[in-house]
Amino acid sequence: MAAGRAARTGLSGLFAVYKPPGVASIRVRDTVETLLLKELNSLEQPAVQQQVRFLPTTVEGNAGKELTLTVTQLPVLAAHPLVRGPEFTHLKIGAGHRLDTKSSGVFVLGVGHGNKLLTDMYNAHLTRAYTVRGLFGKATDDFSDTGRLIEKTTFDHVTRDKLEQILAVIQGTNHKALLMYSNIDLKTQEAYELAVEGLIRPMEKTPPLITAIRCLQFAPPEFQLEIQCLHETPQYLRKIVHEIGLELKSTAVCTQVRRIRDGFFTLDSALLRTHWNLQNIQNSIQDSKIKVKVGLQRSLSCQARSGKRHTDMDQVAESKLHSTEGTSASDLTHKMR
């Protein structure tokens, strides 16, 4: 009886699953919930509740047959599992930064009290890492290889050097935007301390920013990039691939977007579909507890400090913000040109 309840209360924290491509992330969350509920319900082995009843029976007494009450223990059928239904019907499982249907990769889920940690992770504004595969020579309407074809081009003139040049430019402009949105004057002591601790990054909602981008493989027409970014969506990454194609005076579509790191969770800790069961999830939660705690504490202290300087830098920052309001990092690229 206690086994299921103990498991349910112990199940609280964050864990990562590997979302396969072609499946909606909500379905992944629902599948995990159903599997966990099935296991929890099978753990429960309740003894059927007994009730003491006094039933009238005939007993051989002094003067012939007599009616007396005898004590019997009968099961209470209202507490029988076939009448009451399964013990657990709902688990609170929340999803972290979602992936769309075509993309795959590390997908963080929170269960029980871990859902609060999900909010903390969101407010910590951590970076994520993706591997993006692209294909030269085509352009489609939704920037991926399954969309409607718009144009075809040649790509013989594209070399690895040109690609890396473009990537360097993108990284540079995004870095400038990053510093601007973080509202830090680089000449202060505060900025130095923040830089020593970790990445200087904006602690509020901003347009998507790329912190690092490099080319992993180049075998025309295919190429693979690794992108570290903030506040992005998978569709934004596909747009980046499309724009890289345009910059190289050719066209490109994105064939795969795969998340390899989400904050503290990497590919190693992500659970595959075949491993989605209670034991593995409990182990995963246990392993990631310390990492998450330390990481969140660090970013919260960063935030506290940035909150302080935000009030000082308000007036200086506002004029800068107004001038670049409504532009994304990619538009900045064109401005720089």
Partner 1 sequence: MAFWARQISRRCLSVKTSNVANSIQQLRKSHRTWIQLHELSVLSLLRTDNQFFQRGLKTYQSVSLGSRLQSTNSSNGQIVSSESNLLSPVNHYQQQAEIIPSSDTETLYEVWEDTPPLSALEEISEEEAVQIVAEPPLPLGSFTLRDYVDRSETLSKLVLLGVDLSKVEKRPHAGQLLLRLDFEKDIRKRLLFLKDVGVEDHQLGPFLTQNPYILAVDMEALETRVAYLKSKKFGKEAVAQMVSRAPFLLSFSVERLDNRLGFFQKELGLSVQKTRDLVVRLPRLLTGSLEPIKENWQVCQVELGFRRNEIQQIVSKIPKILTANKRKLTETFDYLHNVMGIPHHILTNFPQVFNSKLLRVKERHMFLTFLGRAQYDPAQPSYISLDKLVSMPDEVFCTEIAKASVKDFEKFLKTL
Smallest gap, in angstroms, from Cβ of residue 272 to partner 1? Answer: 6
Which of 5, 12, 21, 280 is close enough to bind partner 1 by CB under 8 A?
Answer: 21
Residue 156 falls in the annotated catalytic set: no
* Dist CA 28 CA 279 (whole Å): 18
Q: Please identify, among the stretches 72-80, 107-115, 152-160, 319-327, the one whose residues bind partner 1 according to the rule CB under 8 A.
A: 72-80
What is the DSSP track for 10-32? Answer: H--EEEEEEEPTTS-HHHHHHHH
* Dist CA 223 CA 248 (whole Å): 13
Take residue 208 and report the two structure tokens written for it.
Answer: 């998507």
Q: Does 104 bind partner 1 (CB under 8 A)?
A: yes
Q: Are 253 and 241 in contact (CB under 8 A)?
A: yes
Measured on CA atoms in the order 16, 17, 18, 22, is the torsion positive or negative?
negative
Other C-beta atoms within 10 Å of 69: how many?
A: 11
Smallest gap, in angstroms, from Cβ of residue 129 to partner 1? Answer: 14
Q: Are 265 and 141 in contact (CB under 8 A)?
A: no
Pick the catalytic residue: 30, 100, 120, 161? 100
Which of 77, 216, 246, 290 is close enough to bind partner 1 by CB under 8 A?
Answer: 77
Nearer to partner 1, 84 or 320 (CB): 84
Q: Does 199 bind partner 1 (CB under 8 A)?
A: no
- For residue 259, give the H/E element and its range: strand 252-262
Strand partners, 70: 55
Q: Does 124 bind partner 1 (CB under 8 A)?
A: no
Q: Looking only at residues 269 through 298 of this chain, which bind partner 1 when binding is defined by CB under 8 A?
A: 270, 272-274
Smallest gap, in angstroms, from Cβ of residue 45 to partner 1? Answer: 17
Q: Does 146 bind partner 1 (CB under 8 A)?
A: no
Binding footprint of partner 1 on the chain (CB under 8 A): 18, 20-23, 56, 66-69, 76-78, 80, 82-86, 104, 258, 267, 270, 272-274
Active site residues: 100
